[in-house]
Structure 1
């Protein structure tokens, strides 16, 4: 009963990409919440090369940015066939990839490890998937 009730709220567009976008959106909402209410521990784990640079303000700013991307990705999950929404959703993964790659390769605030691996895998795989599936969803 609970599963069938939850299934009613899943995106109706065929394929797995909309469900993936919704999943990533929900996970991002929890990540955003921990940036506000979970202290600095988890955010410092991402920026583990320079954890002292992670402040309450930077963590909350990061949480706000994460929440905004989760809202866009949720819309992307339900409106995958609408080109402007698809493009905005795609752009959130570009911004995430550029942010985390530059923090690693340019600014040195993070290092290649478990704190960076998740965001890089999610952004890279989502960009590849959305590029490959663009024609399918935007027929």
Structure 2
């Protein structure tokens, strides 16, 4: 497995923790992400489902890096997540800077890494077919 695949597996596993918090430990989700806001159980479960979808994308993409549509969807999930968290911090003021820094590190690193690898996996697949 390529290094990017291992990274996506790590990020997916970390996202699983957020899924758990969204469904079963709202206090930890509130403290770890939306620390400047109150959350209801419905908000937590909605966040959990959204995060479960992005976690699934990470795992699927990790094993299928040469699948361009899946790669694109996974890449965009990081862009959307980063956009969401930036708006929560700058516009809605529901996050502390420490929480934004943590999620921005994982989303930003993933975005940059995936951008730098954008065409290389497709190129490797073509070379393997020859």
Report if TM-score (shorter chain) is over 0.5: yes
Total equivalences in the alignment: 122
1:100 Cα deviation from its structure 2 partner: 0.3
Give 1:130's aligned residue.
114
Distance in 1, matches of 2:30 and 2:12, equals 21
What TM-score results when the alignment is normalised by the length of structure 1?
0.83
Question: Superposed, which structure 2 residues align to 1:1-139 within 5 Å?
Answer: 12=1, 15-38=2-25, 40-45=26-31, 46-50=33-37, 52=38, 54-113=39-98, 115-139=99-123
The superposition leaves residues 53-95 of structure 1 with CA deviations (integer Å, 9 ceiling, x where unpaired) of x111101100110001001111110111110011011011011
> Helix, strand or coil for the counterpart of 2:97?
coil
> Helix, strand or coil for the counterpart of 1:31?
helix
Across the aligned residues of Structure 1 and Structure 2, the Cα RMSD in angstroms comes to 1.1
Unaligned runs of 5+ in 1: 1-11
Distance in 1, matches of 2:34 and 2:13, equals 22
8 Å CA contact 2:18, 2:29 repeated in 1: no
What TM-score results when the alignment is normalised by the length of structure 2?
0.88
Displaced runs of 4 or more, over 2 A: none
Unaligned runs of 5+ in 2: 124-130
